[in-house]
Structures are given as structure tokens and as C-alpha cells.
Amino acid sequence: MRIAIASVGFLSAILGVPWLTALCIVALALRYRSWEAILLGLCVDFLWLPLGLSMYTLPYFTVGALFVVWVFEPLRMQFLR
Amino acid sequence: MRSAVFDTGYFSSHRSLATENASLRSQLDRSAEDAAAYEVARQENELLRALLHLAQQEKGITAPVVSSVRSSPYGTFLVGAGESDGIAVGSLVLTEGGFVVGKVSEVGQRTTLVTEVFAGGAEVDASVNGAVAPAEGRGGGNARVMMPRGIEIHEGDVVTAPQLGGRPIGLVGHIDSDTSSAEQTVLVSLPVNLASLRYIYIVPIQ
């Protein structure tokens, strides 16, 4: 299941829509202690983020993935062990 | 025994008809495929002919769009040309109608990342009927411009960008004007569906 969600996430990062990748990141972070979620965020930013940092070109997907993994850690430990 | 029964009379004519039927169906399938391939080539030819008039006006490169504009959350897309084709960062990306759809932001050996002019949150100075104001990108080829209310603007007016060589960047789609406000909201959109872009023309910025 984990591999399937990560695969869908990577495919949607390249060919699909951003909301599907975001959904996969949340699903992975919610269910597993998942480094793939952070990797998915990095993948989206490496593929699509233009060079040159500005307010409009922050790596939102990487930052978002890190945040989601961090936020869901206590929830996962509490309910899913 | 079998051939004595099945290779004579009714059975042999039925079998030959069935064989001919299968052969003709196969030929029909091949012809349908050839017709579809011809149609694809014809449409591609039309697209490239439309870009030809741009090539006659200024030097540049025609390149195919190789990613979906919907895949990127940052208003970027990939084109199938790169450093080896002479593309540089900052070059302008035009549609077949001469509208600027984006700028080259990253160049690889064989692919290039283009950032849309109207990417979400991006700003570009827009000129409409002589008045200049910043256009705030909203993604999907749409932008919003706050213009002084005294400027006469109509739907369909061409919007140009002084910093992009005065090239057109869109058309006025809708105007919201309120007598209580000193500004009017002008919604600008590219007259082309970004999702259906197959070829673009890249010119170096001067």
C-alpha cells in the first residue's frame, strides 16, 4: 500500500496534477513514518520550481511535506501503533 | 475424411468467404489507422504553418511543449529544446498568435523550463490604451490589473507589456467598475488555451 501510494504520488508529480501529489503526501505522512512524503515534495519542487528565490517561488511542496510529516507524527504515534 | 467433408461444396465456400472477410477487415483497420495518422500530420502541419509567420518576422526557435501546464503548481512547463538549440535564460516564449505566454527560467541541455507570464502571484507591467499598471498573475493564463477609472477600456482591448518589448500578453476579458472606487478591475486573459498548446516560438529578449 505504501509503495502504491508513493508510486501514484511520483507519477502525478511528473504527469498528473499537484493536488493528487499533495493528497499522496498527506496519506503517506498520516499512515507511515514516511520519508517518501518528503521526497515527493522535493521531487515536485525540483521538477517545476523555477530558479531564483522570491516570494512567489518558495519551495512550498518541500516545506509543506516537512510540515505535514512533523504535524502528523504525534497523531500517528497516538492512534496508529 | 475431414478434407472430404470440409473442403467441398458449402463448407469450402463458407471458409473462403470467412477468410476473405477477415482479410478485408484487417485492410480496413490499416486504412483507418493510415487515415488517423494523416489527420495527425495535417494538424501538426497547420500548427507549424501558423508559427511560420512569426519566424519570418523575427529570429527564434520553434519548440514542442513536452509537459502538461496542469502538472506544475508554480505555473511552469517544459519545452523540448535547450542549450544545444541556442536557448538562453530570459528568452520570451510566444504563441502562434504572437502573444507572450512566458519566459525561459531554466535551460537544460535538451529541455527548458518556462515560467508563465501570468503564473500565480507573478507580476508584470501591463499597458492598456496607454495606461500602465502591474498585472497580477492568477494562473491558467489569467491576470488582474487595477487601472484608474478614468481610462477608457473595452473588452477585447489588447494588453501589452512594455518590459517584454511591447509585445501583447493578453486581451481584456472583463471589467469591473464601481463609481465609489477610483480604480477599475480589469481581468486579462490569454486568447489561447494553455492546456492545448503544442508548439511555441522562443525569441531571445532584446
- Rounded to whole angstroms, the Cα distance separating B1 from B7 reads 10
Residues B74, A49: C-beta atoms closer than 8 Å: yes
Residues facing residue B6 across a β-bridge: none
Rounded to a whole number of angstroms, the distance from the CA of B121 to the nearest CA of chain A is 6
Tell me the chain B residues in contact with residue A53 when contact means C-beta distances shorter than 8 Å.
none
Q: Is B125 left (phi over 0), alpha (psi -120 to 50) or beta?
A: beta
Residue pLDDT, tens place only, B40-66: 898 888 888 878 877 888 888 999 999
Q: What percent of chain B has pLDDT over 90?
A: 50
What is the DSSP code (8-state) at residue B40?
H
Pairing of strands B112-116, B76-79: antiparallel
CA A69 vs. chain centroid, Å, equals: 8
Judging contacts by C-beta atoms under 8 Å, the chain B residues touching residue A17 are: 70-71
Q: Which CATH architecture has domain B60-206?
A: Beta Barrel (2.40)
CA of A11, closest CA in chain B: separation in Å?
10
pLDDT for residue B168: 93
| Residues A38 and A59: beta-carbon distance below 8 Å | no
Q: What is the pLDDT of residue B120?
A: 86
| Substitution target from A10, A15, A20, A47 for chain B, most B beta carbons within 10 A | A47
Picking from B71, B105, B122, the nearest residue to A15 by CB comes out as B71
With 80 as the cut, is the pLDDT of residue B12 above it? no
Instruction: Tell me how many residue pairs between chain A and chain B have CB atoms under 8 A apart.
Output: 37
pLDDT band at B189 (very low <50, low <70, confident <90, very high): very high
Q: Is B72 in Cβ contact with A48 (below 8 Å)?
A: yes
pLDDT-based confidence at residue A32 (cuts at 50, 70, 90): confident
Residues A9, A4: Cα–Cα separation, whole Å = 8
Average pLDDT over residues B71-87: 90
Rounded Cα distance between B53 and B33, Å, is 32
Taking alpha carbons only, the member of B87, B70, B204 closest to residue B140 is B70
Q: Name which of A71-75, A77-81, B74-78, B96-100 the model is least confident about.
A: A77-81
Interface-testing mutation among A21, A43, A56, with chain B (most B C-beta atoms within 10 A): A56
- How confident is the model at residue B180, as a pLDDT? 85
Mind telling me how many Å the CA of B48 is from chain A's nearest CA? 25
All three cell numbers of A66, joined, read: 516537512
For residue B178, is pLDDT > 90? no
Closest CA in chain B for residue A52: B105
Q: Supply the mean pLDDT for chain A.
A: 85
Q: Among A46-50, A63-67, B12-16, B164-168, name the one with the lowest average pLDDT.
A: B12-16
Q: Where are the domains of chain B?
A: 2-53, 60-206
Report ipTM for this prediction.
0.80
Q: Structurally, how many domains does chain A consist of?
A: 1
Non-local CB neighbours of A28 within 8 Å, separated by 6+ positions: A2, A5, A6, A9, A34, A36, A37, A40
A49 touches chain B (CB under 8 A): yes
* Mean pLDDT score of chain B: 88
Query: Whole-angstrom Cα distance, residue A8 to residue B181?
Result: 49
> How confident is residue B11, by pLDDT bands cut at 50, 70 and 90?
low
Range of the domain at A65: 2-79
Residues of chain A with pLDDT > 90: what percent?
A: 41
Q: What percent of chain B has pLDDT over 70?
A: 94
A chain contacts of residue B70, beta-carbon cutoff 8 Å: 17
For the segment B24-40, what is each residue's pLDDT rounded down to a tens digit?
999 999 999 999 999 88
Q: How confident is the model at residue B132 (pLDDT cuts 50, 70, 90)?
A: very high
